[in-house]
Amino acid sequence: MAEEGQVTACHTVQAWTEQLEKAQKSKQLTVVDFTASWCPPSVFMSPILAELAKNMPNVTFLMVDVDELRSVAFDWAVELLPTFLLLKEGKIVGKRYKAIPISLAEEDRVHQNGLINQAQLAKLRGLGVQSP
């Protein structure tokens, strides 16, 4: 199964299928990050997703590079990057594009932990992250 507290990259269709099946059986919430190395918003969100994985050990975090696994991206109708699917028992329960919304409190924690600086935080807000 995916490592607790980590984002597990799936580099083959077989690895993707195995991780997805394990996540379904666990009945945990699963967050799938469809990403690409050439996509600045995807690259920007990567450390934020890693921090979320550390702080949410009861959630499975998977990453799929759309250039490596085009068929998987096609099967899940991924059209924008990054796309975040929230799955429960293999069913889509949520879908987000570009950035995962975070609250002001979470923004402060992420900034205070040195994960992002003020300029990056401003950029994150520019990607569509809304604060209450």
Q: What is the DSSP string of the chain?
A: -PPTTSEEEE-SHHHHHHHHHHHHHHT-EEEEEEE-TT-HHHHHHHHHHHHHHHH-TTEEEEEEETTT-HHHHHHTT--SSSEEEEEETTEEEEEEESS----HHHHHHHHHTTSS-HHHHHHHHHTT----
- Answer yes or no: is 46 within a domain: yes
Range of the domain at 63: 7-99
- Answer yes or no: is 118 within a domain: no
Task: Specify the number of domains making up the chain.
Answer: 1
Tell me the pLDDT tens digit for each residue of 7-61: 999 999 999 999 999 999 988 889 999 999 999 889 888 888 898 888 888 889 9
Predicted local confidence at residue 76, as pLDDT? 95
- Answer yes or no: is 59 within a domain: yes
Predicted local confidence at residue 128, as pLDDT? 46
- 98 or 6: whose pLDDT is higher? 6
- Answer yes or no: is 24 within a domain: yes
- Answer yes or no: is 85 within a domain: yes
